[in-house]
Amino acid sequence: MRLELATALSVTLLCPIKNSTWSSRLFIMDYMKPLNCFLWMTIFHLIITHSTEDKCQRETEKLRVQIKTLENHYAKRHQLLKNLRNQSAERPETGNGIMNLGDKSVHADCAHVFKSGNKETGFYMIKPTNSTVPVKMYCDMSEGGGWTVLQRRMDGTESFDRGWSDYKRGFGAMDSGTGEFWLGNDNLHFLTSQEECTLRITMEDFEGVRRFAVYKNFKVSDEKNKYQLSFGEYAGNAGNALAGGDHPEVQWWASHQGMKFTTFDSDNDQYGQNCAQEDKSGWWFNRCHSANLNGLYYQGPYSAVTDNGIVWYTWHGWWYSLKSVVMKIRPTHFESNGI
């Protein structure tokens, strides 16, 4: 429609009627001039229109071919992806995915996985004795092997300022061998109630120094008892922060021995207010803490209204937030087959 209007306008502009004379011959010639011009312009318009339609058809056909090619390409890729998924389900993973041990392999923890000959670090499906369903857990097969990892901090990408239900079920990056996560308080209870466990905490500061703390008889009670914490003898070079260190006064207000779990929406601590609300984490708070490995991620020394960093008091005090932490357990009487 726009082209037709343009043509009509062109005719008007390009073919004006000249001043006519009273001579009939001249009159006819003058009269015919704009008519000729109009006919020529109409033919020109038809040619252009026809040519444009041809061009459109060719472009449409070209696009149809391209769409068909892309559809075929997509179908091939989709099939390739499907084949790869099927292949990965048929063999054990060697990366960050779950190690597939087959239907017969039901292990109660990572120590059982290790004992059965699977010595590769990674995710396995574990079903603790009292758990109703298998759960994806990260098995650390270093340092003697058989460690079930409960918690990992390393870069602050995961928020640990979470409520009761998140800590109960667990949260975080359970699809990567390098992400941050909390295994879940129910799982902590299942794992530590089926066998006497040793807890090993490895920590690193921003100067690249590594330290560790080991606790025998680490135990977490069930939800009814608010996941109450108990632990035995300490060993290591990071200091006994979980028990409040060596100072009796600090031990009185900060030791985590016998403490119940507190989150911002479930206050079970010994403090008048809520430690989890003030320190932005879920933990076995007292009044409030000498260790808070679920605190906010800072870059080493920090200042804040409360001591809410990733704290291990007996190593770096309350105002230094650690670079990385791993909490892991295995049965106390575990033997690593000589490794």
In the complex, the residues that contact Ca ion under the rule CB under 5 A are 267, 269, 271
How far apart are CB 303 and Ca ion at their closest, in Å?
24
Residue 161 vs 267, nearer CB to Ca ion = 267
How far apart are CB 114 and Ca ion at their closest, in Å?
40
How far apart are CB 182 and Ca ion at their closest, in Å?
21
d(CA 189, CA 79): 43
Residue 116 vs 273, nearer CB to Ca ion = 273
How far apart are CB 109 and Ca ion at their closest, in Å?
33
Residue 204 vs 278, nearer CB to Ca ion = 278
Residue 114 vs 264, nearer CB to Ca ion = 264
How far apart are CB 98 and Ca ion at their closest, in Å?
39
How far apart are CB 160 and Ca ion at their closest, in Å?
19
Residue 145 vs 244, nearer CB to Ca ion = 244
Residue 38 vs 271, nearer CB to Ca ion = 271
